[in-house]
Structure 1
Amino acid sequence: MASIVGAVGLTIAAAGFAGRYALQAMKHMEPQVKQVFQSLPKSAFSGGYYGSGFEPQMTKREAALMLGVSPTANRVKTRGAHRQSVLLNHPDTGGLPYKAAKISDVKDLQEGQAKK
């Protein structure tokens, strides 16, 4: 019984020392982490969409914002972004049905412009 209590005590002490070491290492890494976050594009955290909600009629600008691409992006880049967005926002994988429907509207808008 005493050996179990001793083992538990040593485990807790080791976890404490490991946590202390990790916190000290994080303090030294803070400048590098800040630099990495500043080098990332702004849309990586905001989703590339503005907070005013959806427009009643889908526009090319709104479609591009939903996909996180430029409104002047080529078809290959737009299709890749659309595919990724569908995979991330599909209701079967935990996405919202309304957002999935809006992403489908993006595809309809893209196909309509491709036919013109």
Structure 2
Amino acid sequence: MVLPIIVGLAVTVAALTARSGLRAWEVYRHLSPMVIARMNNVKIQSRRPGYSPSYNGRLNESLRQRLEAYRGGFNPKMTESEAILVLDVSPEEIEILDEGLLKRKHRNAMLRNHPDKGGSPYLAMKINEAREVLEHSIMLRKS
């Protein structure tokens, strides 16, 4: 009589563990390198122009520029990296990104691109989507 209860508890624990693992993987897939570095307490030392820690120093200049060039357009589903670009958040501001700074960045972007002021409705939608992505991001410091 106790065996079905033990089996039921074991199945429940296994299901909850699998679900939390899948959720953690989904969050991890969308992390930007800056967030991963901050989560692991890694300090990015150099902020020299043209420096990219992900590229080998043996790459020639033209190839490195092509790799670092932003290809433009929007991804089908907005990522945190794209949201940071849309809202014009600098690398220094990523480290201190909180709700107030996010609100100011969103407001400034909307003032520049609002449809009532001659901007594009599509860009306004993307700016709002970027705010929503960053609001639910682990990069945002909650107060």
After TM superposition, the score normalised by the length of structure 1 is: 0.50
Query: Which has a greater percent of helix?
Result: 1
Bigger CA radius of gyration: 1
